[in-house]
Structure 1
Amino acid sequence: MKLLEGKTAVITGSSRGLGFAIAKAFAEQGASIVLAARTADTLNSAVAELKNQGYQAEGFICDTARIEDVEGLAQRAVSTFGHLDIWVNNAGIGAPYGSTMSISPERIKKVVDTNIIGVYHGSYVAMRQFLAQGSGKLINLLGRGDSGPMPYQNAYASSKAWVKNFTQALAREYAGTGIEVMAFNPGLVITEMLTQVDAIVGFEKKVLPLNTVIRFWGNLPEVPARKVVWMASSATDRRNGLIVNFLSFGRLIAGVGKELWRWITHAPISTPIIKVRITKS
């Protein structure tokens, strides 16, 4: 039997990147999937790809900053597949790389709306459903900055610190209810969000060392997605409050060894080079 056989899962921000990789990994393990994103074209393409491979998948256009959209997303999952078992708050955006005062309030607000308000809305809607049925798994995505301040990435990093604290508090509040509230930090995932970086004028050179970091520890989205499958499965039953950091100490050491071997063997660099787009705010 597949790990998620008979389960229904919602994944926000799932038309591409890590979100789509999670959706596909869930589908491969037997789950019915509801993908959610703001852009219809990419969402429809993602749903069509899964359906063409024989998976049960539906799409729902959703801006997670709008509670009515998120409520509609949950309703679509239940009306289409009959139940809702797993909810992954994956949708997230970043602000340009640069000092906090050089970034416009509008850009900061967009990060807050998606990374904080969106996670709150998703958690609120999912938890209401889960509490009514006495079961469910809520997984919130973390990221760089969840364990401490990150200068020049203050908006994104601070939002992830909020998500971590919010998730841990929520888990404690609803301990013993049959619901697992968890968080996952996928580490460095090689997607457009990582490799196409906006930088404030004058800060673009500070981004370039990230190329080396990606060579050491970057992973294609399919790799951390497999860990999310494990978190969504029965393996984490009664492990409410679980926080998983994919970039473990062992993976840190393995990344160093991999890059050292590449250097010794003169193998070509296989990871993408970061493209920096310069902006004024």
Structure 2
Amino acid sequence: MRSLAGRVVVVTGSTRGFGRVLVGLAAQRGARVVVTGPWAEEAEDVAAELRSRGLDALGVACDVTEGEQVELLAERAVAAYGRLDAWVNNAATSNPVGRAFDLDPAEFRRAIEVNAMGTFHGTRAAVTRMLAGGGTVVNVLGRGDNARATAYTSPYGASKAWVGGFTRSVRKEYAGTGVHVVGFNPGMMLTEKLLDSHAVGEQGEKMMKPFAVVREVFADPPEVAARRLLAVLADPHPPASVNLLGPLGAGRHAARFAVRRAGAAVRG
């Protein structure tokens, strides 16, 4: 992997889950990281833990649904480190499993505010500042980013469909400027967001029954996706998109699961 030494990397939603793993690994590889989350104390605690290990980290509170806060986040990063090299729009919210109209309408509003508008605010803040010197913006995608149906997780899926389309549009608009806009789908990750999934309504409960098996087959520790994303951030010519659970990835996971099951049967 190319070095991240000295690179300035902002990751939204990086006090927990995948984001926290990502900033930790980036800092270990020499990046100067900006840790963000909606709660100032939590962001500073994560940054302080990294600094205690001799790593370079700044903690900044930021609610990505508020455009002014995202602009301030970008300004704080530039003021502290002099530039932006990479920005990862990772902050996201999920929703319970259930039919669209069994869910609270607030679930839809929250998905739009965090997943869609949060990505818009972050991309805008990063791209406009990177035009002078180049950089990489990564929008974290998810189930639904290809605009296919995401039954029983419709708020999340619809918001990620928007993020996918927005990412492709901005990439085309800023092609040739030195700013790379990448769509990154990490697949299923064993984070608290996935492990705490719950259902709403009778149909949602039915859909949750096979969830444990699906998770066992397709979910990876977040470190798997984080290492792949670090390679994207270190690449001077990153790919337009990365999908760790596309058809090929899903096939690899299924084959790996079958081997594990066969081995367990032999040992049993």
- What is the identity, as a one-letter code, of the residue corresponding to 2:255? G
Which of residues 232, 241, 246 in structure 1 aligns to 2:244?
246
2:36–2:62 CA contact under 8 A, matched in 1:
yes
Say yes or no: does 1:134 pair with 2:133.
Answer: yes
1:16–1:42 CA contact under 8 A, matched in 2:
no
Point out 4+ residue stretches in structure 1 off by more than 3 angstroms. 248-251
- In structure 2, the residue matched to 1:84 is 84
Q: CA deviation at 1:2?
A: 5.8
- In structure 2, the residue matched to 1:277 is none
- What is the identity, as a one-letter code, of the residue corresponding to 2:105? P
CA distance in 1 between partners of 2:221 and 2:49 (Å): 19
Q: CA deviation at 1:109?
A: 0.7
1:14–1:37 CA contact under 8 A, matched in 2:
yes
Say yes or no: does 1:255 pair with 2:253.
Answer: yes
Residue 208 to residue 52, structure 1, CA distance change in 2 (3 Å): farther
Instruction: Single out whichever of 119-128 and 254-263 deviates more from structure 2.
Output: 254-263
CA distance in 2 between partners of 1:66 and 1:49 (Å): 27
- CA-to-aligned-CA distance 1:170-226 (integer Å, 9 cap, x gap): 010011111111110000011011111132132223113121112112111111001
Q: CA RMSD in A?
A: 1.7
Q: CA deviation at 1:76?
A: 1.1
CA distance in 2 between partners of 1:128 and 1:257 (Å): 44
SS of structure 1 residue aligned to 2:25: helix
Residue 80 to residue 134, structure 1, CA distance change in 2 (3 Å): closer
Instruction: Single out whichever of 96-105 and 159-168 deviates more from structure 2.
Output: 96-105
SS of structure 2 residue aligned to 1:197: coil
Instruction: Single out whichever of 139-148 and 97-106 deviates more from structure 2.
Output: 97-106
Say yes or no: does 1:171 pair with 2:174.
Answer: no
Say yes or no: does 1:156 pair with 2:156.
Answer: yes
Residue 256 to residue 156, structure 1, CA distance change in 2 (3 Å): same
Q: CA deviation at 1:46?
A: 1.7
SS of structure 1 residue aligned to 2:145: coil
CA distance in 2 between partners of 1:189 and 1:211 (Å): 13
2:198–2:208 CA contact under 8 A, matched in 1:
no
- CA-to-aligned-CA distance 1:2-30 (integer Å, 9 cap, x gap): 61111101000000111111111211221
Alignment of 1:1-281 (within 5 A): 3-131=3-131, 133-147=132-146, 148-202=148-202, 203-233=204-234, 235-237=235-237, 239=238, 242-266=240-264
SS of structure 2 residue aligned to 1:9: strand
SS of structure 2 residue aligned to 1:266: helix
- What is the identity, as a one-letter code, of the residue corresponding to 1:123? T
- Could you tell me which runs of 5 or more consecutive residues in structure 1 were left unpaired when the two chains were aligned: 268-281
1:6–1:32 CA contact under 8 A, matched in 2:
yes
2:63–2:70 CA contact under 8 A, matched in 1:
yes
CA distance in 2 between partners of 1:106 and 1:249 (Å): 33
TM-score by length of 2: 0.93
CA distance in 1 between partners of 2:18 and 2:42 (Å): 14
CA distance in 2 between partners of 1:206 and 1:248 (Å): 21
Instruction: Single out whichever of 161-170 and 210-219 deviates more from structure 2.
Output: 210-219
- What is the identity, as a one-letter code, of the residue corresponding to 1:24? G
| Identity of matched residues, % | 36
- Could you tell me which runs of 5 or more consecutive residues in structure 2 were left unpaired when the two chains were aligned: none
CA distance in 2 between partners of 1:71 and 1:34 (Å): 14
Q: CA deviation at 1:48?
A: 2.2
- CA-to-aligned-CA distance 1:79-137 (integer Å, 9 cap, x gap): 11111110000000012211111222222111110000100000111111011x13010
- What is the identity, as a one-letter code, of the residue corresponding to 1:77? A
SS of structure 1 residue aligned to 2:228: helix
2:70–2:122 CA contact under 8 A, matched in 1:
yes
Residue 102 to residue 248, structure 1, CA distance change in 2 (3 Å): closer
Residue 157 to residue 134, structure 1, CA distance change in 2 (3 Å): same
1:14–1:91 CA contact under 8 A, matched in 2:
yes
Instruction: Single out whichever of 196-205 and 82-91 deviates more from structure 2.
Output: 196-205
1:8–1:86 CA contact under 8 A, matched in 2:
yes
